[in-house]
Structure 1
Amino acid sequence: MGDKCVILVTGGTGLVGQAIKTIADGEEKRPNEEWYFASSKDADLSDREATEKLFERVKPTHVIHLAAMVGGLFRNLKYNLDFYRTNTLINDNVLNASFKNGVKKVVSCLSTCIFPDKTTYPIDETMVHNGPPHDSNFGYSFSKRMIDVLNRAYNKQHGCQFTSVIPTNVFGPYDNFNLEDGHVLPGLINKIYCAKRDNTPFTVWGTGSPRRQFIYSLDLARLMIWVLRDYPEIDPIILSVGEEDEVSIKEAAEAVIEAMEFKGEVKFDTTKSDGQFKKTASNAKLRKYRPDFKFTPFKQAVKESCNWFEANYETLRK
């Protein structure tokens, strides 16, 4: 990426997009790179004409594709069809527009939920298509899997350098802290804030026993910029902390309790679904390329996220 580069980031105002903006404008800033962070206000990417007009306007040489219809466990359970149809349209439009406009490289963002529900652990990049995903979010999962199919097809038929990353559970500033359809950590942060403010119990949905690997959004941003610049493969790469850094939902809740200095009652509502118990991912491939990469310690990242949440409470998504 030595020449002048115009990098379009779809979904650029969300959690990962804002983290990339922070890193690209800061520690990883390069004079030959011009970044454009697009939001849904710039274009409805499920509409082909709107997508093509965005590409015509920005004229990107590179794309980081983050845009998606997203939600937490309970929204996925309710709207599997919507998640499949909308995301399939978005992904096809973005990759086709990238091909038509001669984009040199596209990095799309997938999710560990795409992996088979019944599998051996740890999961790795070779196992994406080995069986159906968990039934709770099959619509979203299959639509994301198809990005990998598109990447391979564009590469085989046209030689396109389209690839993808698979992060584990992302959290950090600019997250969606909605209590109903947000993800687990931002949901816990908002719940504790409300419980502390209202002097009510803090209730965790489920048993607290499922286990997850969490990656801080700023760490993910650093790695995605590296993938855009230097990762040579079409095959996806898992971006995650190690297996040894996996934590239970109960442990995640305890980290938020500590960070928010919550002293009240803690309850677990076991009538709520736990979702998938675990989806432990191997970061061996990442470590082959980046053996010295330093992840932000989990408790430090949670504390920074809680501090950002409290400082921006009036304007954040909740």
Structure 2
Amino acid sequence: MRVLVTGGSGLVGMAIQHVVKEERGGYEGEEWIFLSSKDANLMSMKETRDVFRKHQPTHVIHLAAMVGGLFKNLKCNLDFWAAHEVGVVKVVSCLSTCIFPDKTTYPINETMIHNGPPHESNFGYAYAKRMIDVHNRAYFEQHGHCYTAVIPTNVFGPHDNYSIEDGHVLPGLIHKTYIAKKEGKALVVWGSGTPKRQFIYSLDLARLFLWVLREYPEVDPIILSVGEEDEVSIKEAADTVVQALDFKGEVIYDNSKSDGQFKKTASNAKLCSYLPEFRFTPFKQALKETCEWFVANYDTARK
């Protein structure tokens, strides 16, 4: 089993590396190859084919994409032809709850992806990601390949992109709080703080990725998320960051900034039916570990 991980130097890729190597999550007989953008430009068909022919993977975890938060124009580029050409047995791609319809009922589940247009703030990203699911189904129907996808909720952890402008909400909050504390200024949180999100620790996600790669039998995607009861507001998340970084200053909410979708509550019932005993790292503990990593690696962290 030779596993090729695209986006291997990103948030989830580094978490999978940690679980495979540091937690000894890799199995005997498995070979793991973690690619970064330095190894191949996956928007080039030639470079993609070349790197697949070089490594001849049997399994692929596809994480490479152009990603960011609400305030960045997002897009994703994907081709499976290289995987098909070299006989890859299984591909696991990474989708997002952003792909679900804007007008929907909650909680959302895996059957609802294509039930209507996505939120206008990320329609390009959402439609690109939806096409991965379409592609998976087509390859199964035409070639019998088990190409599938996971749908994590909001991922956070070490090795994230902590850009204030382009990053996701938690790493952006962590960076802004760090600077506000250092400079003795108020912490300005964009938006009202009322939207709610489910957050998943990158190391928990990595452990689930390994299970999907080895054991999940379906082409249909699966949501990887904490339960609905663990959903928190942006204000609650900001309060947790403030506590973790021991910030004592004023916290101001800038209501002139967009909130995005009010909520994207996802059901993890399908996951629980497969793994009823799986336990997620408590949010406060995971966020404290993330903040400690950011402070310790501030000079080299992506910002």
TM-score by shorter chain over 0.5: yes
State whether structure 2 residue 291 is matched by structure 1 residue 306.
yes
State whether structure 2 residue 88 is matched by structure 1 residue 91.
no
The residue that corresponds to 1:119 in the other structure is 104
Distance, in Å, in 1 between the alignment partners of 2:133 and 2:151 is 11
Tell me which of 124, 133, 138 is aligned to 1:139: 124
Partner amino acid, structure 1, of 2:153: T
Query: Aligned-pair distance for 1:178?
Result: 0.3
Tell me which of 8, 12, 16 is aligned to 1:16: 12
The residue that corresponds to 1:182 in the other structure is 167
The residue that corresponds to 2:90 in the other structure is 105
**Alpha-carbon displacement from aligned partner over 1:62-118 (angstroms, at most 9, x marks no partner):** 000000011111112xxx5xx2xxx2xx312xx111111100100000000000000
Query: Aligned-pair distance for 1:259?
Result: 0.3
Partner amino acid, structure 1, of 2:132: I
Query: Aligned-pair distance for 1:293?
Result: 0.2
Query: Aligned-pair distance for 1:235?
Result: 0.1
Query: Aligned-pair distance for 1:29?
Result: 2.2
Q: SS of 2:200's equivalent?
A: strand
| Deviation beyond 4 Å, 4+ runs, structure 1 | none
Tell me which of 11, 28, 45 is aligned to 2:42: 45
Query: Aligned-pair distance for 1:59?
Result: 1.1
Distance, in Å, in 1 between the alignment partners of 2:265 and 2:104 is 10
**Higher deviation after alignment, 51-60 or 299-308:** 51-60
Query: Aligned-pair distance for 1:139?
Result: 0.4
Query: Aligned-pair distance for 1:58?
Result: 1.2
Q: SS of 1:274's equivalent?
A: coil
Q: Give the alignment of 1:200-279 within 5 angstroms.
A: 200-279=185-264
Structure 2: stretches of 5+ with no match in the other structure:
none
Query: Aligned-pair distance for 1:57?
Result: 1.1
Q: SS of 1:23's equivalent?
A: helix
**Alpha-carbon displacement from aligned partner over 1:260-316 (angstroms, at most 9, x marks no partner):** 000001000000000011000000000000000000000000000000000000001
Q: SS of 2:78's equivalent?
A: helix
State whether structure 2 residue 152 is matched by structure 1 residue 167.
yes
Structure 1: stretches of 5+ with no match in the other structure:
none
Q: SS of 2:167's equivalent?
A: coil
Judging by fraction of residues, say which structure has more helix.
1
Equivalent pairs: percent with the same residue? Answer: 67
Partner amino acid, structure 1, of 2:17: K
The residue that corresponds to 2:300 in the other structure is 315
Alignment size in residue pairs: 302
State whether structure 2 residue 72 is matched by structure 1 residue 75.
yes
Partner amino acid, structure 2, of 1:157: Q
Partner amino acid, structure 2, of 1:45: L
Query: Aligned-pair distance for 1:27?
Result: 3.4
The residue that corresponds to 1:64 in the other structure is 61
CA RMSD of aligned residues (A): 0.7
